[in-house]
Amino acid sequence: MSSIRVLVVDDSALMRKLIPQMIEHDPALHVVGTAMDGEFALKKIPELRPDVVTLDMEMPRMDGMETLKQIVRHHPALPVVVVSAHTTEGASQTFKALSLGALDFIAKPHDALSGNMDAIGQDLINKLKAAAMRRVVQPVRPMFGGARAARKQRVERTAAARVLAIGASTGGPNAVEYVLSQLPENFPAAILIVQHMPVGFTDMFARRLDEACAIDVKEAVAGDLMVAGRALICPGDRHMKVRRMPLGNVVVLNDDERVNGHRPSVDVLFGSVAEEFGPFALGLLMTGMGEDGADGLGRIKKAGGFTVAQDEESSVVYGMPRVATERGYATRVMGLAEMPQYLISYFSESLKVVTEQV
């Protein structure tokens, strides 16, 4: 198998040295060139024919955002992994880049300019490999557009008898945004989400979703109540579990060891949801590399809950849902476009059953 060809684009001479050194620790990857800004990168792409590009956002002449737009326009099959500053502005730029077509991102450590990049080395390697294997999927657009978020009104939230647990990784930010943006403000279940993402980015992700959705979305805080029509995003570098309490169901955060190499881990959330909610839970495993969440989806199914895996055609990286499907843990496999209406119908019917039983 030929090695994966990588073009590194960064205005820092130090980063153009350190990033290739990290990448070439893996024999499956080969850095075919570097570029100090977007203009040089666009000239080198036809010459070097990379399989994937790492792209810094802050560069002179042509910055990363404009470079990304040009790559998407002229080289739509070429995946881009953004190398982001670990700042609020960096997070904002990163999510804009993901919405424009970047596949994934890696956050530079705060002391990156001192050469301390080892902490992100394996993560970068994994994401470059996933990028090289990614599927080019047709983007799915929300039915309601931006006008819906502008009409958003805060409503009083009530305790939820049912829970929707979602796990996602590579390709997940856009996929999760699409699904949540289609849910009505009175969605009858509590929503819990683990998206593989570093600390400092999950709060910005939650804010972005809250602006785009009729439901409420926030980064989870330990002790948050699980209420209908609100989604809680697990913070970066924490695990999230659930606990049923007499005065209301709550989320619990902890700093336990990584699971499947991840913190947050989808398996941790799904396993806890299975234990606490069983038949009153629906687990949804979406696009992403690896197998985190597959066994947890199996635990939800075994506990009597309903399980859904995203299909191959709509997954940017068909890893996590593929493993779950192959192990027989997915009750249903469906495309991204089908999910919102299916979830609305499923939980509406579930609510009718609960009401009738009462």
292 is known as an active-site residue: yes
Task: Kindly tell me if the per-residue pLDDT of 132 is higher than 80.
Answer: yes
Q: Which residue has the tokens 């590009």?
A: 53
Mean pLDDT across 170-179:
95
- What is the per-residue pLDDT for 246? 87
- What is the per-residue pLDDT for 147? 38
Catalytic residue among 11, 84, 181, 196: 196
The CATH number of domain 145-357, selected from 3.40.50.2300, 3.40.50.180, 3.20.20.10, 3.30.365.10: 3.40.50.180
Q: Which fold has domain 4-132?
A: Rossmann fold (3.40.50)
Per-residue pLDDT tens digits for 218-229:
999 999 999 999
Neighbours of 138 (CB within 10 A): 9
pLDDT confidence tier of residue 357, bands split at 50, 70 and 90: very low
Report the predicted TM-score, pTM, of the whole model to 2 decimal places: 0.90
Three-point CA angle 95, 100, 101, nearest 5°: 100
- Where in the chain are all domains bearing CATH 3.40.50.180? 145-357
11 is known as an active-site residue: no
Distance from C-alpha of 224 to C-alpha of 249, rounded to nearest angstrom: 8
- Where in the chain are all domains bearing CATH 3.40.50.2300? 4-132
Per-residue pLDDT tens digits for 314-323:
999 999 999 9
Per-residue pLDDT tens digits for 62-111:
999 999 999 999 999 999 999 987 677 778 899 999 999 999 999 887 66
Q: Which residue has the tokens 């049923």?
A: 244
Distance from C-alpha of 13 to C-alpha of 5, rounded to nearest angstrom: 20
Per-residue pLDDT tens digits for 216-272:
999 999 999 999 999 999 999 999 999 999 889 999 999 999 999 999 999 999 999
Catalytic residue among 10, 210, 216, 292: 292
348 is known as an active-site residue: no
Query: What mean pLDDT, rounded, does the chain reach?
Result: 90
Catalytic residue among 84, 169, 181, 315: 169
Neighbours of 312 (CB within 10 A): 15
Task: Kindly tell me if the per-residue pLDDT of 354 is higher than 60.
Answer: no
Task: Kindly tell me if the per-residue pLDDT of 117 is higher than 80.
Answer: no
Distance from C-alpha of 195 to C-alpha of 193, rounded to nearest angstrom: 6
Distances (CA, A) of 300 to 27, 250, 277: 38, 18, 9
